[in-house]
Amino acid sequence: GQNIDQPTEMTATEGAIVQINCTYQTSGFNGLFWYQQHAGEAPTFLSYNVLDGLEEKGRFSSFLSRSKGYSYLLLKELQMKDSASYLCAVQTDSWGKLQFGAGTQVVVTP
Amino acid sequence: GAVVSQHPSWVICKSGTSVKIECRSLDFQATTMFWYRQFPKQSLMLMATSNEGSKATYEQGVEKDKFLINHASLTLSTLTVTSAHPEDSSFYICSARDQAGNPYEQYFGPGTRLTVT
């Protein structure tokens, strides 16, 4: 079967750093995505990794290890507006089909 | 940037009726669109892949006769929930790939909240 696992919830204080881990086992792999989703809204794109290594984009960084089936999203200098669900998704074919993890709810406290 | 719209943004219908949801790519052409469903506090589940000019490909467990998908043009895909029941109440989200843009990037619509009474 296909599995994409990530923690259910994480809490951190404003200004801190949080790392959200994602492990995956899928039938195909054509890249790994991270999305942010606020309640009742559509996901917004954060990052994309297809090769091993770290991709940095401002306060957000994402890492991929294909041999380990592992990725993480690093959120630095947390702000209250970062409170949201973060979805790990694997593109399983060349057409763009995405398999999503259950999402990690990040709660940022003052 | 690329924009995908959905209409309606929310709809309430009675059990047994049909509801049509539209997904449009506003400033790009999309040969492929995807339909997802999301139940409260759960992740997005892919329902089907919609290809312009051909039949949709449904994921396992999704009834193609109940969820009719039509991708008649490069900018429009529609999802019709036929004979809706309360268990079909969910958040339906579409996404589209820009055929002229980055091959990996998908753009999501704002979603349609369906409530069946």
Shortest alpha-carbon distance between residue B46 and chain A (Å): 7
Asked whether residue B32 carries a pLDDT value surpassing 70, the answer given is yes
pLDDT of residue A1: 62
DSSP string, A40-106: TS--EEEEEE-SSEEEEETTEEEEEETTTTEEEEEE-S--GGG-EEEEEEEE-STT--EEE---EEE
Task: Note whether A17 and A74 are within 8 A (CB).
Answer: yes
The closest CB to that of B43, out of A95, A96, A102, belongs to A102
pLDDT of residue A95: 79
How many C-alpha atoms does B27 have within 13 Å on its Cβ side? 5
Asked whether residue A43 carries a pLDDT value surpassing 70, the answer given is yes
% of chain A exceeding 70 in pLDDT: 99
Asked whether residue B19 carries a pLDDT value surpassing 80, the answer given is yes
pLDDT of residue B43: 85
Contact check, Cβ <8 Å, A96/B43: no
Asked whether residue B62 carries a pLDDT value surpassing 90, the answer given is yes
- Using CA coordinates, name the residue in chain A closest to B97: A96
- Using CA coordinates, name the residue in chain B closest to A101: B43
Asked whether residue A96 carries a pLDDT value surpassing 90, the answer given is no
Q: How far apart are CA A33 and CA B23, in angstroms?
A: 22
Strand order in A18-25's β-sheet? A3-5, A18-25, A70-75, A60-65, A53-57
Mean pLDDT of chain B: 92
Q: Which residues of A touch B32 (CB under 8 A)?
A: 95-96
Mean pLDDT for A69-82 is 97
The closest alpha carbon to B91, from A6, A103, A33, belongs to A103
Asked whether residue B104 carries a pLDDT value surpassing 80, the answer given is no
Task: Note whether B79 and B69 are within 8 A (CB).
Answer: yes
Cβ of residue A54 closer than 8 Å to a chain B Cβ: no
Mean pLDDT for B92-101 is 88
Burial class (CB in 10 A: 0-12, 13-18, 19+), B116: buried
Residues 9-28 (A) with a CB less than 8 A from some CB of B: none
Asked whether residue B103 carries a pLDDT value surpassing 80, the answer given is no
Q: What does the block give as tokens for A34? A: 């991270």
Shortest alpha-carbon distance between residue A93 and chain B (Å): 10
Pairing of strands A44-49, A60-65: unpaired
pLDDT of residue B4: 94
- Using CA coordinates, name the residue in chain A closest to B35: A97
Which is more confident, B53 or A13? A13
Mean pLDDT for B7-15 is 97
Cβ of residue A101 closer than 8 Å to a chain B Cβ: yes
Mean pLDDT for A31-48 is 92
